[in-house]
Amino acid sequence: MDAALTKSERETLKSIWRLTSITGLDGGARTGDLAASLNVSPGTMTATIKKLADRGLASHTPYHGVELTEAGRRRAMSIVRRHRVVERFLADMLGYSWSEADRLAPTFEHQLPQEIEDRLYAALDRPATCPHGFPIPGAGTSELPPMPSLYDLSPGDRAMVALPGSTDPDVAMFLEGLGVRPGVEVEIREKHPFDGPLVVSVDGLDRTIGEKVARQILVRLPRSGDLTEDPTNNTRKRKEPV
């Protein structure tokens, strides 16, 4: 199981999944991008990818990129699940901000026994999302619903905000000032043409967000009966159907 993987192998699986699933790269993740995301040399990354391929968890086609196999996706989802549960623990029980939780989680998440992960999840009241606003995968999940950028939405659309851990601190601070934080529901009011800004409603107030910043914000599209949750304090309430 996961315990047989090294920390670098687990982080690489997670990075492949992020680059191919969240950012939507065509044809797989490039070795150079993976190396940069984990701050290792291309040679080290190539060796790690080969080990994952030998385990049947990834496939690497020259000039095409690295992709996860079905077994690799399931393993990556279990790793993502643990990361997000640990982030919730750091934020909800220890008071770290969502950006600090993302930075600190990898320092000890790989040493956790499965039993402790399960107990943490239960102690946290089985949260639906991590502090960034991303869904926590269910056990055994191999896929998650796609999360478009805020700029991909149209006037009248509603969605829940999610901010990646890689969000520039200045951008995060700017969005915080607008009330656009992880877990907040926003509604698109206007979308100006020719890559113009968005006007979004946040807590009843109209806010203007430029195209470049709006593309950095990912969103969860709500469904009838979903739980609306503020990931910063784990307070949840039943969302009314829209």
Retrieve residue 220's tokens: 């969860």
Q: What is the pLDDT of residues 189-231, one digit of tens each?
A: 999 999 999 999 999 999 999 999 999 999 998 764 444 445 5
Radius of gyration of the chain (CA): 18
Torsion over CA: 25, 63, 67, 9 (sign): negative
Mention every residue, 6+ apart, whose C-beta is less than 8 A from residue 14: 76, 79, 80, 83
CA proximity to 195, closest of 213, 211, 218: 211
DSSP 8-class letter at 66: E
Does residue 235 lie in a domain region? no
Which among 40, 68, 96 is the end of a domain?
A: 68
Whose structure tokens read 């750091």? 90
Q: What is the pLDDT of residues 11-28, one digit of tens each?
A: 999 999 988 886 555 568
Does residue 140 lie in a domain region? no
CA proximity to 117, closest of 153, 89, 94, 156: 89
By residue range, what is the domain housing residue 202?
Answer: 150-220
Whose structure tokens read 């000039």? 63
Does residue 115 lie in a domain region? no
Residues, the chain: 242
Which among 18, 49, 68 is the end of a domain?
A: 68
Encoded amino acid at 181, one letter: R
CA proximity to 129, closest of 202, 181, 175, 200: 181
Does residue 50 lie in a domain region? yes
For residues 105 and 82, give the distance between their C-alpha atoms in angstroms, rounded to a whole number. Answer: 9
Q: What is the pLDDT of residues 72-125, one digit of tens each?
A: 999 999 999 999 999 999 999 999 998 899 899 999 999 999 999 999 999 999
For residues 31 and 49, give the distance between their C-alpha atoms in angstroms, rounded to a whole number. Answer: 8
234: left (phi over 0), alpha (psi -120 to 50) or beta: left
Answer whether 0.75 is exceeded by the pTM.
yes
- The CATH number covering residue 7 comes to 1.10.10.10
Retrieve residue 151's tokens: 């700029």
- Written as one string, the DSSP assignment of 229-240 is EETTTTEEEEPP
Q: What is the pLDDT of residues 49-79, one digit of tens each?
A: 999 999 999 999 887 789 999 999 999 999 9
